[in-house]
Amino acid sequence: MKKNIYLYLFVFALLLAIFMYVNSKNIVDKYETDISTLKEKDLENKSIITKLEDENLDLLYFNLEHNDDALSYLERDGYDTDEFIPFLKDELYSLNEVEGDHPMVPYASMSGNKMLINKIRLLNHKWIIADFSDGEYWGEMLLTYEITENKELKFKLVESLLYPPQ
């Protein structure tokens, strides 16, 4: 009877070892599959990040804050660009508060609301592109700016367009 107990224990231990081997093999295979899937996704995400970084660099090309030549031009004239760029934007946005028609937007409002400048992009040390709207009609304009000898900031409209209503 003692032999049978040892035989049953041996068979049970053998079955338990086989079960543990098969189970751990399945777990390892699943982990290997998951790892390979994650590596593929990682490569895919890295390529997407690289593409987005390239697009971001393209978008920053016409931007005063990333244009070293334009920044050095302003610094050569004695301006601190960290203070000058926000000042320039504030001055242009402050024109939205002028009573009556907007002094820079060449179109009168057709919806009863006032035309306001919504978005500004400083292209370089001389040019600005701006978006304006009255809530129903919108357009864009190209402005130049200069600082006179009296340290006055002057804006000049170069070109503008008004999009047709949709």
The pLDDT tens digits along the chain (166 residues) read: 677 888 888 888 999 999 999 999 999 999 999 999 999 999 999 999 999 999 998 888 888 888 888 889 888 888 888 898 999 999 999 999 988 888 999 988 888 888 999 999 999 999 999 999 988 899 999 999 998 888 888 999 999 999 988 7
Q: Looking up tokens 């934007």, which residue turns up?
A: 89
Q: Which residue has the tokens 């864009």?
A: 140
Share in percent of the chain as helix, strand, coil (round to 5): 50, 20, 25
DSSP-derived letter for residue 148 is -
Measured from the Cβ of residue 145, the count of other Cβ atoms closer than 10 Å reads 16
Angle at 12 between CA 8 and CA 14, to 5 degrees: 115
**Longest CA pairwise span in the chain (Å):** 114
DSSP state of 78: T
* Beta-bridge mates of residue 132: 117, 139
Instruction: Compute the distance between CA of residue 34 and CA of residue 22 in angstroms, rounded to an integer.
Output: 18
Beta bridge partners of 146: 154
- Note the pTM of the prediction, 2 decimals: 0.69
